[in-house]
Every structure is written in C-alpha cells, then in structure tokens.
Amino acid sequence: MATTTIPTAAPTSTITPSPPTTTLPKTYPHQIPIAIIGGTGLSALPSPPFTPLAILPPPPTPWGTPSSPITVLSYTPPSPSSTTPITIAFLARHGPQHNLTPSEIPSRANVAALKKLGVRVAIGFSAVGSLREEVKPRDFVVAGGVVDWTKGLRGACSFFGDGVVGHVGMGEPFDRKLSGVMYDALSSPADREKKQVVLQGEGVKVHDKGVVICIEGPQFSTRSESQLYRSFPLDPPINCVNMSAVPECKLFREAEIAYALLCMSTDYDSWRGEGEEGVSVEMVMGHMVANGENAKRAVGAILEALGREMEMETEASKGVVGERLRGTNRGAVMGLGSGGDAKAVEAVERLTWLFGKEWVDGKV
C-alpha cells in the first residue's frame, strides 16, 4: 500500500496531543477504515486509552483544506476477547480551537480528505438541544433521520455540479447497519460481568432512531421556532435540534462512506413555557463536561463493537466496515462522459481525485 503523504504546511493553530506533536510523524503508511468526527464536547481523544500514531496536517483537496489536522490513533479494546488494535482517524469538525461556526465548516474538504485516507465508516458526534421531555440533558441519541432547515448559506453542499449531475438518494441519511451497531454498543453493559454501563450518570440513557432538525445557527432557536419544530407531524417526531448534521450526512452519502451521528443532549432548546429559560451557552457548557466524558467512553465501546464486526468480515460479506457502498452511487451520476466545457472537465477531474478513475469510467 502506498504511503499517504500529507503536505507539511501547518495551520495557524494545532492540536496538542500526548505525546507532543513534534514526536509524531506527519504521514501514515496504511489505509484508515474508520473516522471519528469530533464536535462540540469532543475536540480530542485522550491518551491513554487512545495512542497517537501520527498528526497529518490538513491535506489540500479540490474543495479546500479540512477543518483541522487529522490525528491517527490506535485503540486496543480492554475486553480480553478483542485484543486487536483498531486504527482510526480523528478530525475536529469546528477546528482545533473550535473557531469555525457551523456555516463555516469546510464539510466537502473534511469528507474528501477522509475518503482519500481510505475511510469507509465515519461516526460524527454533535451537541444537540432536546425537543422532547424524554430526551433529557446528558442523554445520547442515535440519529435515524434529518430535516434540513438551513438557509443556503453554507456554500456548495454537494460534490456534483458544474456539468456533472448527481442525484444521490437520501431517504436514509444515516447508515442503518452502522447506527444499529452503535446503539447496541451503547445500550449494552461495557463490562458484561460487572454490568457497568457505557454512559454514566444518574438516569442517563441512549435513544434510538432520533430525528434531527438542522438549523443554520450560530444563534440558538427562538421560542417560537423551537415550538414550531416540535409541532411538525412526523413519525417518529423530531426530537433534537443541531447545527452541523447538514451537509455532513449528505456528503458522506455522496462519497459512499457509511455515516452515523451520535447526538449529545445539552439542553431543552427554547420550547418550554414562558417561565423557563431558553438555551444559552452557560446552560450548554454546564452539561458539556459530563457529555464529553461519556462521549470518550462511547467511542471506545463503539470501536470495540466495530472491531468484532471487522474480525467476522470477509471479502464476500464486506460487513459493516467493508467496502459495501463502493459504486452504489455511480448510476446516479450523469455527465461523466468525454467532452463538455472546461468547467465540466474540471468537475470530472475532481471526482476522479475523490473516487478514482475506475469509478468515473463506470468499472466498479
């Protein structure tokens, strides 16, 4: 396998992992099948139990540079039945210092950079406001659906365009198999003998098949908006609101990468009665530390479950982490043939960079 080489130009601010970045290489010689996208409350993964292997400076892509350096880490599950280390790529969605608003996140560059590293499975973490009484602050929600309520301020939200048209299905914006593995990992005891749960804290639980409404931000919802979101007659109903699910989920689907989103509730948004305080930064931060600790435990539990899945996978089954999505979108893309104006030629070149020539030529 060819070495993944990343340009050495560094951003203005960097992650400070342990050990120091100066002792870690800036390239990594292997494909990395799993990525973790850190959001508000999860800006890095601790060492131990995660061991940093490399810090890859933000690589250039045809869609710009990603939000942060990409940290390559190794995780060895504590369970005696799963001793094989798992290698992951970690990217901070909002930047190393949380300096990007939701509208400023270079989502296409983030997804493209991870695709180029060989990522086939990505798990996003995101702080959310709860729109339902039963989803308490500090609860976690595995997303099952999304409503796009952004305002078109996020630039291009697709890898297609400029003469190449792609109509990729979004009926299931989050990968069912991956989401199922994630929910099972968090709802089962981390230590089955001691019955120790993954998500700690009194009454903290994980909810399945949540529906997220993604708003533009960076302002929180008005009370009227929050009550409007609750009133939409969906089944299941919208139960949380965030600012980053879109276009991230759409781009991962276009890139043929299985994607799941784990939402971390920090507040009740602004829908409660007139006497109730609306969501504020102080309120969010009050629950952020507890959520962050649970998020780190959640990453370990999910990786252990994915490790078991990988041990059972074969070339024929391709499983949860295998290349089961490769080529699934090719039939939805038009305009990849020869000819076209200069913009179309450049669009084909970008897609060749992302998917490879075989994909563009329809040979997958």
- 287 assigned binding-site residue: no
The sign of the dihedral angle between the CA atoms of 341, 342, 345, 347 is negative
Is 243 annotated to bind a ligand? Reply is yes
Q: For strand 258-267 and strand 121-130, is the pairing parallel, antiparallel, or unpaired?
A: parallel
Is 269 labelled as part of a ligand binding site? yes
Cα of first residue to Cα of last residue in the chain, in angstroms, is 20
- Does the annotation list 126 as a binding residue? yes
Q: Which of 71, 178, 144, 141 is nearest to 294 (CA)?
A: 141
Beta carbons within 8 Å of 3's beta carbon, 6+ residues apart: 27, 28, 29
The CA distances from residue 6 to 53, 219, 252, 273, 362, in Å, are: 14, 35, 21, 52, 28
Report the alpha-carbon distance of residue 350 to residue 115 in Å, rounded.
13
Residues 15, 20, 26, 30, CA torsion sign: negative
The annotation status of 361 as a binding-site residue, yes or no, is: no
Question: Which tokens belong to 142?
Answer: 């595995």
d(CA 211, CA 195): 29
**Neighbouring residues of 151: CB distance < 8 A, sequence distance ≥ 6:** 216
| Pairwise CA distance, residues 270 & 207, whole Å | 21
Q: Is 267 part of any known ligand binding site?
A: yes
For the chain, the 3-state helix, strand and coil shares in percent, each to the nearest 5, are 25, 25, 50
Question: How far is residue 126's CA from residue 265's CA, in Å, rounded to a whole number?
Answer: 9
Task: Say if residue 94 carries a ligand binding annotation.
Answer: yes
Rounded Cα distance between 212 and 261, Å, is: 10
CA distance 119 to 129: 29
10 is in an annotated binding site: no
Determine how many CB atoms are found less than 10 A away from the CB of residue 261: 31
Q: How far apart are CA 41 and CA 186, in angstroms?
A: 18
Q: Is 74 marked within a binding site?
A: no
The verdict on whether residue 244 carries a ligand-binding annotation is yes
Which residues does the annotation place in the binding site?
Answer: 40, 93-94, 126-127, 243-244, 267-269
Which residues does the annotation place in the binding site for phosphate?
Answer: 40, 93-94, 126-127, 244
Which residues does the annotation place in the binding site for substrate?
Answer: 243, 267-269
